[in-house]
Amino acid sequence: MADTPAATRAVKEPPPARPPARTPTTGPHPAPAPAAPGAPGAPAVRHPAEGGAPAVPAEDGAGAARGRVLLPVLLGGAFMTVMDSFILNVAAPTIRTSLHTGLTQSELVISGYVLAYGLLLITTGRLGDLHGHRGAFLAGLALFTTASLACGLATSATALIGLRLLQALGAAVLYPQVLALLQTSYTGRRRDRAFAAFGATIGAASVTGQLLGGVLLAADPFGLSWRTAFLVNVPAGALLFTAAAFTLPRTPRRRPARLDLTGVLLLTCALLLLTLPLLHATGPARPAWTWTLPLLSLPALAAFHRHERALHARGGTPLLPPALLRDPAVRRGGATALAFFAGNAGLFFTLTLLLQDGLRYPPLQAALTFTPLACAFVAASLLAPRLKPPYQAHVLAIGYTVNAAGTLLLLAATLLPATAGDRWTLMTALTVIGFGEGLGVSPLFAAVLRDTPARDSAAVSGAMETAAQIGMSLGITVTALVFSRALGGRTGAGAHQDAFAAALAAVTLLALLALALAPRPTPTPTRTGTGPGTGPGPGTGPGPGTGSGTAPRTGRPR
């Protein structure tokens, strides 16, 4: 019997793409709605806020040109905010001398920025989800650039600390939108490559910040000293703002929804109780409440969770949807980010103490020591999406294994008298560590965000970055305590080597913890069932019939 049209289509058409795992609203075939994006005859490019597929840059004419500029613009925003977290590391002593301030105030210039930044990320991420990522990106960039100019003109330590908090607000508004726009503007392999470029950018920014800070202090253009570390952001921010205004896709507003202010208050209190003691943990006279406030954060977090569940049950828009908090990938991803970045920050901090205080490296030479780590990080980040499928599925486990191996190598080299303090041995171990870190940063964010609904992408990316920031603060505090206890008031290179080895043991434990917590891909079981059947043979009848078959099921990391 002759093939029916339905059978002919079954032969010629490829099988439909697998919909995402979480919700049908994020798939390539949104639910039908009158005149809704994704309906028959509607434009192919849809914005995620409308419940359709992620918006992909157009591939023709001016749209293609904007698509080519979009990635550099997004990465430029991420680069500026990350670089600013590191550029003042080498400028802090100069700021202390110039503004005639004490050690505590000069440290607040750096730690206050990190603390405020981490506290605000989830809230600002949700603001982008509710009111549009484009507007939030531009507003954050404008505030960050303006605050940088004001910081460069500050005449007192108190003013500088306050302006740094304003700068942190701008960075916190901007940064989650970068990850959200990467997730919603690209699909498939293009998205993997975009996240790889993001990881490479973060690695380059961390070292570039320290190098640029040292170069600017050494050159001292126009006699501006440390002020150039802030003023360099002004022309870069203005140029980036102009490019972003013409490049970022315009995002239709979602249905009216109010920000969960009660959730913001509860979460901010919980995070403040958890992280504020970290600012005082290494002081000479730690207050008694230093170790009690983190315990008080637990009931605050429990109250936040109960409020979010109740708000969701009433049909409201919670700050962090309870379904996402129950998602194993999000939970394991956040725990991994906390452990991994704690070890990373602890290594940077204590190694800088060893190089500058113990081995008497000048600031620029100490910054240059991290260059092999940065180069390996960038190379591994770009390599990650190009790995073959058998390795691609386990890229996080590979990365964290290499990172832990490099940390153990550095610990062994520090303990052995023949290699302790040897620059080439140190740089070799840092290269191995950097390669492992490069395989573990952007794939981690990509794994967590891969199936995140577009309407929640900035909130989830903000939560991940908050975990990373808390991890960094915690890692610096723990390793600084271990380092200072092991040093015990001694001086000299040998004493600092011993203290660094003790701190490095803590870093090694954190690296192994990140390896144990890393999300892993689920098995790909074969699913058998009945449903509309397609096949290469002739078909009979007026339409699709029922049949049985098998299809691979691809799971997300757990």
| Cα(483)–Cα(338) distance, integer angstroms | 20
Q: Cβ atoms within 10 A of the Cβ of 422, count?
A: 13
The pLDDT tens digits of the residues spanning 315-352 come to 888 888 888 878 888 889 999 999 999 999 889 888 88
End-to-end CA distance of the chain: 49
Note the maximum CA span of the chain: 94
The pLDDT tens digits of the residues spanning 493-533 come to 888 899 999 999 999 999 999 999 998 775 544 444 444 44
Per-residue pLDDT, 74: 95
Per-residue pLDDT, 7: 41
Per-residue pLDDT, 35: 34
Per-residue pLDDT, 127: 87
Q: What is the mean pLDDT of residues 291-312?
A: 89
Q: Which is nearest to 55 in space by CA: 444, 330, 457?
A: 457
Q: Residue 165 pLDDT more than 70?
A: yes
Q: Residue 60 pLDDT more than 70?
A: no
Which residues make beta-bridge pairs with 548?
Answer: 530
Phi and psi at 529, nearest 5°, equal: -170, -175
Sign of the four-CA dihedral 240, 243, 246, 247: negative
Q: Which is nearest to 349 in space by CA: 516, 157, 467, 210?
A: 210
Cα-based angle 151, 167, 161 (whole degrees, multiple of 5): 55
Q: What is the mean pLDDT of residues 445-461?
A: 82
* pTM over 0.75, yes/no: no
CATH superfamily of the 320-522+554-558 domain: MFS general substrate transporter like domains (1.20.1250.20)
Indicate the SS3 state at residue 366: helix
Q: Cβ atoms within 10 A of the Cβ of 516, count?
A: 11
Indicate the SS3 state at residue 185: helix
| Cα(107)–Cα(408) distance, integer angstroms | 30
Per-residue DSSP letters for 374-388?
HHHHHHHHHHGGGS-
**Phi-psi sector, 546: left (phi>0), alpha (psi -120 to 50), beta:** beta
239 Cβ contact partners less than 8 Å away, ≥ 6 residues apart = none
Q: What is the mean pLDDT of residues 280-307?
A: 78
Which residues make beta-bridge pairs with 557?
Answer: 521
pLDDT tier, 435 (very low <50, low <70, confident <90, very high otherwise) = very high
The answer to whether domain 63-193+210-255 has CATH 1.10.540.10 is no
The pLDDT tens digits of the residues spanning 358-368 come to 888 887 787 78
